[in-house]
Amino acid sequence: MNVAIVGYGYWGNHLVRNFNNSENWNVEYVCDLDTNQLAKVSKLYPNIKTTSDFNEILSDPNISAIVISTPVHTHFELAKNGLLAGKHIWLEKPMTASVEESEELIAIAERNGLILHVDHTFIYTPAVRKIKEMLEKDELGDIHYFDSVRVNLGLFQHDVNVIWDLAPHDISILHYLSPKKVLSVRADGMAFHNFNDKKIESIAYLTVELEDNSIAHFHVNWMSPVKIRQIIIGGSKKMLVFDDMEPMAKLKIYDSGVSIQTRDDIYNALIQYRTGDMYSPAIQHYEALASECKHFYECIKLNKNTDTSGISGLYVVRILEAANKSLKNGGVPSLISY
């Protein structure tokens, strides 16, 4: 199946490599406005056509799918035109700049029987798949809380704040693992630098209230001295720590039997939690993106939604949009209506 990849930046590079290595795909075009970037493509992949004209791709009947890896504010326009030209679409995260745009893309794709995929790569990692498997076997019980920290001293973005940059990873994981509905979102953040006279938050805390008395919290930070990538899931049966910086034991599952202790002394009714055994399953090693390329192909063939379709993309954008609204309102919760 022929694919065109639009946008050859840091991530576009990985996309081209993986689609090119795939048995299922033939990379026909790479499209970028920057001809220097196109020259790099031609050197490494002499057989791939390069172009700066997106319409050339739209009008090529051999192209089945378009991968869009451009800045977020361009996603809607490019994806919409792709869908209207009858192409399946792979969109980078976050899906679009607004809930409205995401909803429109989902509707167009559905009307035209096309696959609309969002690249929430983490959903295709062995570790997240393993967590999902454990939840499906009800090994962790009901999710009481989901606590995520994703901080690092990395590149600042000039066009979106730290929430839009880093939180989509963890929000997409929450969506994949838990079907619970989002009730409200609130966010606190702080901006320490100006970008074209615009304040852009470089540290933020996001709280998501979920139905059934559960809570999710996200700490995202561009200005941390250390890199932390950690999710703690508090289940009613067991608890899980996913530490993505740990090479040998990314997942740790803890028994934590609750035992209520009653004492005669009414001042001292306590619940004692004890830490039990810990177990760290072996995790296979493979490149998530390679697995995702294959999954995209298979879903097109079977005409079924991918594991991170527009639904997943919309869920993430809904929370991001609500977070920005809460930030503007000084931390007042944004209620989510459907």
Q: Does 181 bind a second copy (CB under 8 A)?
A: no
286 is a site residue for a second copy (CB under 8 A): no
Per CB under 8 A, 209 contacts a second copy: yes
Please name which of 126, 91, 129 lies closest in space to residue 11, comparing C-alpha atoms: 91
Closest CB to a second copy among residues 94, 310: 94
Least Å from the CB of residue 139 to a second copy:
14
Q: Any contact of residue 193 with a second copy (CB under 8 A)?
A: yes
Q: Which are the contacts of 23, defined by CB distance < 8 A and separation ≥ 6?
A: none
Residues in 104-123 that interact with a second copy by CB under 8 A: none
Of 232-251, binders to a second copy (CB under 8 A) are: 232, 234, 239-241, 245, 247-249
Of residues 108 and 322, the one with the C-beta less far from a second copy: 322
Contact partners, residue 283, CB within 8 Å, separation at least 6 = 126, 127, 130, 250, 251
Residues of span 63-92 touching a second copy by CB under 8 A: 71
Q: How far is the CB of 92 from a second copy (least distance, A)?
A: 15
* Closest approach of a second copy to the CB of residue 279, in Å: 5
Quote the Cα angle for 211-235-130, to 5°: 105
Residue 120 sits at φ, ψ, to 5 deg, of: -90, 80
Peptide bond into 61 cis (omega under 30): no
Shortest distance, position 106 Cβ to a second copy, whole Å: 27
What's the CA gap between 313 and 226, in Å, rounded?
Answer: 29
Using the minimum distance from each CB to a second copy, give the nearer residue, 64 or 70.
Answer: 70
Kindly state whether residue 156 participates in binding a second copy, applying the rule CB under 8 A: yes
Of 292-311, which residues contact a second copy (CB under 8 A)? Answer: none
Backbone φ, ψ for residue 104 (5° rounding): -65, -45
Name the residue among 299, 292, 57 with its Cα closest to residue 48. Answer: 57
Whichever of 199 and 301 has its CB closer to a second copy, that residue is 199
Q: Give dist(CA 173, CA 160) in Å, integer.
A: 21
224 binds a second copy (CB under 8 A): yes
- Pick the stretch among 108-116, 227-235, 298-306, 308-316 that binds a second copy (CB under 8 A): 227-235
Between CA 167 and CA 156 the distance in angstroms is 14
Q: Name the segment binding a second copy (CB under 8 A); options: 50-58, 76-84, 161-169, 262-270.
A: 262-270
Are the C-beta atoms of residues 172 and 123 closer than 8 Å to each other? yes
d(CA 149, CA 217): 8
State yes or no: residue 192 binds a second copy (CB under 8 A): yes
Q: For tokens 């869920």, name the residue.
A: 315
Instruction: Decide whether 94 or 234 has the Cβ nearer to a second copy.
Output: 234
